[in-house]
Amino acid sequence: MRKFSSYGPIINASNYYAPREELIEKTYINLIGENPAEGGHYFTVWAPRQTCKTWLMQQIYFRLLKDERFDTLVVNLERMKDENNVGKILEIIAGKIGEGLGKKFPTINTQNEFQEIFKKGVLNKPLILILDEFDSLTENAINTVTSSFRSIYIDRSYEIKKNTEEKPYLLHGLALIGVRSVLGIENQKGSPFNVQRSVHVSNLTFEEVAGMFKWYEKESGQRVDDEVTRALYDEMRGQPGLTCWFGELLTETYNPDPKKPITMSNFDEAYGAAAHILPNNNIMNLISKVDKPPYDETVIQFFETGEKTVFTFDDKNLNYLYMNGIIAEEKVGPKEYYVKFSSPFVQKRIFNFFSRRFFSYLGQLIHPLDAMEDAMDEENLYLPNIIKRYQAYLSKNRGVFFKDVPRRKTDLKIYEAIYHFNIFRYLYDLLKARGVEVIPHFPTGNGKIDLILKYREKIHALELKSFKDMYAYEKGIEQAAEYGRQMGLTEVAFLVFVELTEAEAKQLEKEVVKNGVKVTVLPVAIL
């Protein structure tokens, strides 16, 4: 029986996978060409990390091995990521190609010498070349190698009357996997490879994720509840590495009785473990990417609840975060694209990371003699009185705990998200020993944040926002009421961070009923 796997490329005979037949066929046709006699295309295969680019190209490689019209080679370049000598890189690539073809090329030192190995007479028949982990090379190496391929492509394009095997260069088709610089983003002189097509490997669709679990059901005889599949897709957004990791957790690690269906109870246990105690190389890699400037402050801004960030590949920081699987694009109109996190699970992990990074120690949260009798009892939480304690804590400790946090370059004010990290840590540390579960929730994937407090099987929702003006304030109240209605709640708290004094902020306090939902406005002064 197959298993779910997120450790390296999928093995078709042993693992569950999405066939992706349409994408494979499209990429295959790009390599051999619509009319193979004329030649194939030179193109890039690009996507964020862990989206099965390598697996995709393996399927095509295995298919091409059966085609005697071509020699087909795959060369992995990851081991050359620390090599800075471009001539040495050209020599190594040429050596790998020669080794794969059973040939020994003369010493390669220059770009012209590198191009010569693809000449008719040096090669026996048309070559299809796949270079994996191409973006692991230095930028100078990428520019040199792609410039060589561009020159070869253009020379071949002039020989329109000759079949592919008769042309002066026999590099029939070329795929460069995992490329950023070739797209022209990082090369300040412009892309040297502007003849290429591009194949984008997207995340799995819901149908593809559901298909893998239906496959598991058929082989194992164990039912997987539909809501589990839906929850898994909603949380991971079809990211192949994370999806298959959770597939493994649900069908193996947190599957105590394979004779019973896999339910949301199994999912919640697996999710809790994945969020807190289980190592995952994919997530650890993402966190390492945002734990350094300038990407840390760029990501912190995505947690702002004001205006969205416009998405564009021309922004070097956004391109880097996209290619590393941290963010994705959100299309809201024909010409409007904004940044959102790649998935709710990734967003929660990064939020938790920054919360701990900035506020690993909060000091004394309340007075030691405070029994919190007005804040909670055996059945209920009273959020206004809890937030009063937070306001007191904030006023007392602002100068200590916010001394070294990131500030906006424009006005040197503390980023709004820093307060979100702080109140989450405050509520989490204050209430966890009292039996309250505090969970950050991101319903839109960009900016909007709610804190869900679970106590005695009752849900309390606390929506966070920064005060901009009275119009946005009233709209925020309406949105909070609608959010509460969607959750099936009769009341919801609306916490507003206000750049005013405590006396001024208090004027915004009120309770109002909108569409049957009571909204309690809780302003917090941050001056």
Q: Which residues contact 423 (CB under 8 A, 6 or more apart)?
A: 390, 451, 464, 495, 524
| Token output for 507 | 């004027």
CA distance 515 to 513: 7
Q: pLDDT at position 185, please? A: 44
Query: Homologous superfamily of 21-200 in CATH?
Result: P-loop containing nucleotide triphosphate hydrolases (3.40.50.300)
Residue 48: closest CA among 203, 197, 209, 187: 203
Note the pLDDT of residue 180: 60
Would you list the DSSP string of 431-490?
HGGGT-EEEEE-SSSSS-EEEEEEETTEEEEEEEEE---HHHHHHHHHHHHHHHHHTT-S
| 91: nearest Cα among 72, 114, 75 | 114
Q: How much is the pLDDT for 42? A: 92
Q: Would you say the C-alpha torsion 160, 165, 166, 170 has a positive or negative sign? A: positive
Q: What residues in the chain have per-residue pLDDT under 50?
A: 181, 184-188
Considering only CA atoms, which of 137, 92, 83 is closest in space to residue 117?
92
Residue 8 is predicted with a pLDDT of 78
Going from N- to C-terminal start, the domains of the chain cover: 21-200, 206-278, 358-525
Give the C-alpha separation, 119 to 100, whole Å: 16
Is the CB of residue 179 less than 8 Å from the CB of residue 192? no
Strands (DSSP E) found in 47-158: 71-76, 127-132
Pairing relationship of beta strands 42-46 and 197-200 according to DSSP bridges: parallel
By three-state DSSP, how is residue 371 classified? coil
pLDDT tens-place string over residues 271-327: 999 999 998 988 999 999 999 999 999 999 998 877 789 998 889 899 889 988 999
Supply the pLDDT for residue 81: 86
* 134 contacts 176 by C-beta, under 8 angstroms: yes
List of E strands, 201-322: none
Backbone angles phi, psi at 175, to 5 degrees: -125, 125
Exposed / middle / buried, residue 451 (Cβ in 10 Å: 0-12, 13-18, 19+) = buried
3-class DSSP string for 197-224:
EEEECCCCCHHHHHHHHHHHHHHHCCCE
Non-local (6+) Cβ contacts of 206 within 8 A are 230, 233, 238
Least Cα distance to 232 among 257, 199, 209 occurs for 209
d(C-alpha 262, C-alpha 271), whole Å: 13
The pLDDT value recorded for residue 184 is 47
- Contacts of 394-403 spanning 24+ positions with Cβ under 8 A: 394/422, 394/524, 394/525, 394/526, 395/502, 395/525, 397/362, 397/363, 398/526, 400/363, 401/359, 401/362, 401/363
Which structure tokens are listed for 149? Answer: 């391929």
Please state the pTM of the whole predicted model.
Answer: 0.88
Output the CA–CA distances (angstroms, integers) from residue 507 to 395, 441, 497, 525, in the order listed: 18, 28, 13, 11
**In the 3-class helix/strand/coil scheme, how is 313-352 assigned residue by residue?**
CCCHHHHHHHHCCCEEEEEEECCEEEEEECCHHHHHHHHH
